[in-house]
Structure 1
């Protein structure tokens, strides 16, 4: 029998870990590309991404309460739809989120020391892998500190932008530059910033009283993140306008500079680096737990299923994930990571919603409506992403399917 992980997370820590995954680097980097796609329809794209994220969150919470084990949708797909769909979800999550880990590490490097971004990225991966190795409680404590810093920085951006006199709310109105296709593409890109609530479900084996804790923590984390995102998006868009925001590679920095608060620029840079560290910490946690679950079922080497006798963490999986992410961060480019990650995660949640459809429930009608809306939304947004992201994501999923078929035949 596989050794289980220690249940030590309550509602507060679960919410904080979800927030650390969401209110992180996504809001610092995703607004620019989304505005470039949707123009003045950016807020519509954010609303659409939030609706799909809500459906996914509710489906995931119900499934996590039923199956409180490490692995998230890998476990739900396996139990509700069959081994292949569970494997496909797990494969897409591990590969896509490994690339996201490298992107977040490179974001840290770009803000801390642009000339040595790769070296700083590798150092960040090594440091956070060591934190995770020491136990889930240490990870939760570090995440609390990161979330507090990031929320303070984002609040400063909102207040300085809206109170500067440079904000023009007419820039929030829909213009001729907004199209249905652009709004859908923006929603797919902005979904990248919402996807972190899955970490709560992925850590289901380390949550106390999961049937009560997870259904509470997931919507709480998502709701707080949505309020923060709306505030930041409105303030930045009202100061920069859709065109300037779409061209910006550092939209929050440009917004405070345009608002005349140049003194905030270094603060925002530090906040972005800390936010990326928070996202990276939570991402490594989630990928290592899914790796653990897949190793338990024989889809990955069995040694990755080992649990540390003292710290009660999947230490072999964490070390392996950290090593792979460090190698990718040392050699890769951050471009395209958002679209690639969004495609893989949207497919992952499509399988989660399909799994939730099969659940028996007293409120069967409402459960199925949420699952259907979530499933349809995930597929529409996934195939509305840039073509390069769709092709790369589809190729990764196809490679996983071939691997599964070869292993099954062997």
Structure 2
């Protein structure tokens, strides 16, 4: 195995992550602020308890297809960049660029949303100042090496899982749960269920963090295909338990109106002491998601800079820490500025649109694989591609318009650069 110094001397990243580390990074990216924040708007879109649960199922199916396609592609192309690399190699330079652009801008917005979530839970009156401080601190952690990021993510995942287990247990034993609320409500339209799925998909969209770390994973052909589905499956079990417990206590109408649904469920179950614990857990969860997001965006930025789609200076690898230090600093600076100026709801909607476009290109890339290249069953990339497109256009109109506009600007920039070349 290459050591850190030899990797850095070759301007490459060191392979230091095993299956356990990769799974934990995936869990830390998925089991984050999304489960604390996405349930209420998803319940509002779905209208009924059954609609919310169906939406969760739809989001999980699309996420599974995306995870399978990403895993097969990552095993074949174990380099930093994720779908940016897959799209370039399988579909052509433009589609790889568009995937990378969608990922970088979409996830930058997601970083801002997570940072603002930290501020909203930790110190609501100074949420933007706290958000900027969180970005600076986690950028410093990532700067010193991915192993430290993996270690910190283990701690965060453990804390968040403990809080979620406490919420589920208190909801089920507190006497306020009613199984009838799981199907209560005035009925959901197909569009409402799809919009709920699109919002809940935001909470799943972290498994690609494993693929974007392909250059830092040991034995990627074996590790990545195992780590991605395992992380996704564990996350789905957690989300299903939490959504079912909170619905059983609050019902769909109260859940849709809740600003802090998990804390409200704890109070309704008679566990007042748990509400501040949930607040701390939500802040920690958002920190975990933010940590993984900065990590993944910097690696895609590195890959795009290597191909001159972004300034070449961002492709530098630190001679001591073997990380893309300039890319990490640039990402951290942009996220800090966005977090100081944007609204969290708008950031989440735009992020969802960009992420779904990114995964649509991943599924299209997986469709082109041959049997000898580890091609998944044909239905997987088809369902994943169609699902991504449908969910993207089920989002609120403002999110669709802004997302399409920013992607269009990226496409124009690509055309101009090609014309000059």
Query: 2:5: which partner in 1?
Result: none
The CA deviation string for residues 201-227 of structure 1, in whole angstroms up to 9 with x for no partner, is: 011000000000000000000000000
Q: Please give the alpha-carbon distance, in whole angstroms, between the structure 2 residues aligned to 1:175 and 1:102.
A: 33
Pairwise CA distance, 1:79? 0.3
Query: 1:164: which partner in 2?
Result: 174
Q: In 2, are the aligned partners of 1:361 and 1:367 still within 8 Å (CA)?
A: no
Q: In 2, are the aligned partners of 1:356 and 1:367 still within 8 Å (CA)?
A: no
Give unpaired runs (5+ residues) of structure 2.
Answer: 1-8
Instruction: Work out whether 1:213 is the aligned partner of 2:223.
Output: yes
Query: 1:385: which partner in 2?
Result: 395
Query: 2:208: which partner in 1?
Result: 198
The CA deviation string for residues 26-45 of structure 1, in whole angstroms up to 9 with x for no partner, is: 10000011000002210000
Taking structure 2 as the reference length, the TM-score comes to 0.96
Query: 1:238: which partner in 2?
Result: 248
Q: Please give the alpha-carbon distance, in whole angstroms, between the structure 2 residues aligned to 1:179 and 1:163.
A: 33
Pairwise CA distance, 1:177? 2.5
The CA deviation string for residues 326-385 of structure 1, in whole angstroms up to 9 with x for no partner, is: 111112221222221111101100000000000011598853210111001110111011
Instruction: Work out whether 1:81 is the aligned partner of 2:88.
Output: no
Q: In 2, are the aligned partners of 1:61 and 1:214 still within 8 Å (CA)?
A: yes
Q: Please give the alpha-carbon distance, in whole angstroms, between the structure 2 residues aligned to 1:353 and 1:167.
A: 40
Q: Please give the alpha-carbon distance, in whole angstroms, between the structure 1 residues aligned to 2:349 and 2:269.
A: 30
Of 332-341 and 266-275, more deviation after overlay is shown by: 332-341
Instruction: Work out whether 1:140 is the aligned partner of 2:140.
Output: no
Q: Please give the alpha-carbon distance, in whole angstroms, between the structure 2 residues aligned to 1:113 and 1:366.
A: 46
The residue correspondences of 1:30-109 to structure 2 (distance < 5 A) are 30-40=38-48, 41-109=51-119
Instruction: Work out whether 1:325 is the aligned partner of 2:335.
Output: yes
Pairwise CA distance, 1:2? 6.6
Pairwise CA distance, 1:279? 0.2
Q: In 1, are the aligned partners of 2:72 and 2:374 still within 8 Å (CA)?
A: no
Query: 2:299: which partner in 1?
Result: 289
SS at match of 2:15: coil
Query: 1:315: which partner in 2?
Result: 325
Q: In 1, are the aligned partners of 2:171 and 2:177 still within 8 Å (CA)?
A: yes
Q: Please give the alpha-carbon distance, in whole angstroms, between the structure 1 residues aligned to 2:215 and 2:282.
A: 30
Q: Please give the alpha-carbon distance, in whole angstroms, between the structure 1 residues aligned to 2:402 and 2:341.
A: 18
1:26 corresponds, among 21, 34, 48, to 34
1:9 corresponds, among 9, 17, 20, to 17
Q: Please give the alpha-carbon distance, in whole angstroms, between the structure 2 residues aligned to 1:401 and 1:229.
A: 36
Query: 2:3: which partner in 1?
Result: none
The CA deviation string for residues 286-335 of structure 1, in whole angstroms up to 9 with x for no partner, is: 00000000000000000000000110000000000001111111122212
Pairwise CA distance, 1:179? 1.3
Q: Please give the alpha-carbon distance, in whole angstroms, between the structure 1 residues aligned to 2:347 and 2:56.
A: 19
Give unpaired runs (5+ residues) of structure 1.
Answer: none
Pairwise CA distance, 1:174? 5.6
Q: In 1, are the aligned partners of 2:194 and 2:391 still within 8 Å (CA)?
A: yes
In structure 2, relative to structure 1, the CA distance for the partners of 1:375 and 1:161 (3 Å cut) is same
Query: 2:406: which partner in 1?
Result: 396
Q: Please give the alpha-carbon distance, in whole angstroms, between the structure 2 residues aligned to 1:193 and 1:284.
A: 16
The residue correspondences of 1:231-310 to structure 2 (distance < 5 A) are 231-310=241-320
Q: In 2, are the aligned partners of 1:357 and 1:367 still within 8 Å (CA)?
A: no
SS at match of 2:320: coil
Q: In 2, are the aligned partners of 1:2 and 1:296 still within 8 Å (CA)?
A: no
Ranges of 4+ aligned residues in structure 1 off by more than 6 Å: none
In structure 2, relative to structure 1, the CA distance for the partners of 1:354 and 1:128 (3 Å cut) is same
In structure 2, relative to structure 1, the CA distance for the partners of 1:193 and 1:237 (3 Å cut) is same
Q: Please give the alpha-carbon distance, in whole angstroms, between the structure 1 residues aligned to 2:65 and 2:10.
A: 32
SS at match of 1:336: helix
Query: 2:382: which partner in 1?
Result: 372
Q: In 1, are the aligned partners of 2:68 and 2:376 still within 8 Å (CA)?
A: no
SS at match of 2:345: coil
